Amino acid sequence: MKCDVLIMPEAYAALSENAVWWAENRSRDEAIRWYETFLARLKGIGEMPQSYPLAAEDHIFAFELREMLFCLGRRPTHRALFRITGSTVEVLTIRHVAQRDLGPDDLT
């Protein structure tokens, strides 16, 4: 089932913050590439959202919490956490894979 993708403000903020970090610690060109590639992947979740695995934190929430892992190199560096509501995918947040698991208070 194809779904529309809605990137929530918190997810956009996290994406931007990570791109700024990338620009400051790697290079501006890499940051732009990282941001644009990640954003394209997020928009692509709607093609087959059910194919993405449940997140480790899924059991904490009253809805199915799924994740998309993202990497530009060999290993995933970030994950987008999302839920499917009807025919819409809501990207709730983006986290670095080294961050602690999402808690119930992390989603507003």
Domain positions in the chain are: 4-100
The pLDDT assigned to 107 comes to 80
Q: H or E segment at 80?
A: strand 78-85
CATH homologous superfamily, domain 4-100: RelE-like (3.30.2310.20)
Prediction pTM value: 0.92
At position 25, the amino acid (one-letter code) is N
Q: Tell me: the pLDDT tens digits for 29-87?
A: 999 999 999 999 999 999 999 999 999 999 999 999 999 999 877 899 899 999 999 99
**Rounded to 5 degrees, what angle do the CA atoms 4, 107, 50 make?**
35
Which secondary-structure segment (H or E) carries 34? helix 28-44
